[in-house]
Amino acid sequence: MGKIIGIDLGTTNSCVSVMEGNEAVVIPNAEGKRTTPSIIAFVEGGEIKVGDPAKRQAVTNPTKTIASIKRFMGHTFAETQEEAKRVPYSVVKGDNNTPRVDIDGRLYTAQELSAMTLQKMKKTAEDYLGQTVTEAVITVPAYFNDAQRQATKEAGEIAGLKVMRIINEPTAAALAYGLDKKGTDQKIAVYDLGGGTFDISVLELGDGVFEVLSTNGDTHLGGDDFDQVIIDWLADDFKSEEGIDLRLDPMSLQRLKEAAEKAKIELSSSAETEINLPYVTATASGPKHLVKKLSRAQFEKLSDTLVKRSMEPVAKALKDAGLSTSDIDEVILVGGSTRMPRIADEVEKFFGKKASKGVNPDEVVAIGAAIQGGVLSGDVKDVLLLDVTPLSLGIETMGGVLTKLIESNTTIPTKKSQVFSTAADSQPSVEIHVLQGERAMAADNKTIGRFHLDGIPPAPRGVPQIEVTFDIDANGIIKVSATDKGTGKSHDIRIEASSGLTAEEIEKMKKDAEANADADKIAKERAEKLNEADSMIFQTESQLKELGSKLADDHKVAVEYALTELRMAHQSQDIPAIQTALDNINAAWKTATEAMYAQGEQGQQAAPQQEQSGDNVEDVEFEEVK
């Protein structure tokens, strides 16, 4: 059995880890970094860049550089209108009411784009392990609903990975934190503020059992929102002074985004930072520059509502777990956004204790995912993970009411059945409207699927007995079935289309992703061949200067001719011609240098003969001339 890798697919950054013996190892990417920006760029020539190379060119290519795509995962187009206004790339309505990113007329789903980041993680692991990787555990925010979980699973499939388990990010962090503390009983709270989402989970650890007691969160709250308050502050101030809204120009917006993120990071360790954006835009009167100072106190005032928003789910999770703050033994901060001093202060104030500094907030989730991979493969023993479903599940009943079958924070996997009946006389069929959420009315909750049970025999209302069963697996993915107990007729659905993609679409995207991987390989080989040619031209020019006088004229001409051929092929970027020219120049050099060394050997053989002829020379006496 091959290795099961653990991937933290983040809004801002992603990370990959694997079990090596008894320890989870975070794998550095090709750029030598332990985390990879979740950024994809489409550049000229059809090349796709992922990670740091994509991030580096974002300012000059804002409309084709995709960041924070996780915030669109598993949502309908209507649900993403606010998110779409914040990004410089074009988000349009696609099939099945899904949001799609328009790149030169080709519409990409959030799953396809996330799959490109996952492919990068897969390749990173394969380069490190020296073997093909096909299986992974991928993390999601604990408060992700079924559609978002299914979309994440689909992204993995498109990337060529069999997703062995979808695991909640705070649970993964707890697993990484508690693996070496298996003998201790303790209750922990995991506060996870990432780039785009927020989760809080309360867990009980003891004897290798990691049991989630409750979870809560906000899938629209993260580091991006803290960046946004700085962006809006800068843009509003600039607009009042210059009358120009920088948010309307993709390139200016991208520069604002990068400056805001940089300022936020600097304010985690400094009391003040300067934001300096020369030539941020131009008018008829000339170029305009943006220079502003932002203090930590000012930033904390701007982001105060966001911090308070994060504390509401914390209080609810603690209440749902039936615990008070004094019952919590450890508080763990996860996600890069928890480096903001105000966050740590607020969390520590709420719980009345210092947060644990024993984990790396950027890497701990991937490490936990790798440990779960080790549990599934049998490499990690005596660990049992008991997670929960984050949201209540139910169906719509008469009057538009949500009737819950499974309450939030129920341990998974789980199965629950309930018997319902018809609302009208002689009703031949029933529509099962499956929903997820906490609101009393069905319309206020998230629809995750609909299906019909037909062929119900005519009977007065309330007589037929229809048993509806919910089955949630360990990934938090739902299967619903309905059975007419009178006839035995049943219908069941695995809620797979809730993410907006059919099995055929996923398969097509998988093939496209494989084709992209092939195209990337070709692009890499092309770049390497051009570099090889460039290097050979430089070396040949240097060697001709150094050794040209020692080469026979015909050999020197042959090398110079091959060099001219190589220069022309390199200029036209004709790869087959470059390879031919490289072969020719190597052959010309081989012939020339063999002849040069042969000539050198002949010269060395001639030297002893001259010494021998010296034996016949007679000794003479010299007289000094005065």
Question: Catalytic site residues?
Answer: 8, 70, 169, 192
For residue 447, report the phi and psi dihedrals to the nearest 5 degrees: -75, 125
**C-beta separation of 148 from 9 below 8 A:** no
How far is 153 from 161, CA to CA, in rounded Å? Answer: 9
How many other CB atoms sit within 10 Å of the CB of residue 469? Answer: 16
Both structure tokens of 426: 């002689």
Token look-up 């779960």 returns 372
Q: How far apart are the first and last CA of the chain?
A: 98
**Cα four-point dihedral sign 393, 394, 395, 398:** negative
For residue 3, report the phi and psi dihedrals to the nearest 5 degrees: -70, 140
Burial 548-587 (b: 16+ CB within 10 A, else e): eeebeeebbebbbebbebbeebbeeeeeebbeebbebbee
Q: At what angle do helices 223-242 and 250-266 cross, to 10 degrees?
A: 120
The secondary structure of residue 503, as a DSSP letter, is: H
Burial 162-195 (b: 16+ CB within 10 A, else e): ebbbbbbbbbbbbbbbbbeeeeeeebbbbbbbbb
Maximum CA extent, the chain = 149
Spatial neighbors of 172 by CB under 8 A, at least 6 apart, are: 6, 8, 139, 364, 365, 366, 367, 368, 369, 371, 372
- State how beta strands 65-66 and 466-472 pair: unpaired
For residue 571, report the phi and psi dihedrals to the nearest 5 degrees: -65, -40
Spatial neighbors of 416 by CB under 8 A, at least 6 apart, are: 405, 406, 469, 470
Nearest of 75, 30, 78, 26 to residue 50 by alpha carbon? 30
**C-beta separation of 344 from 333 below 8 A:** yes
Burial 365-392 (b: 16+ CB within 10 A, else e): bbbbbbbbbbbbbebbeebebbbbbbbb
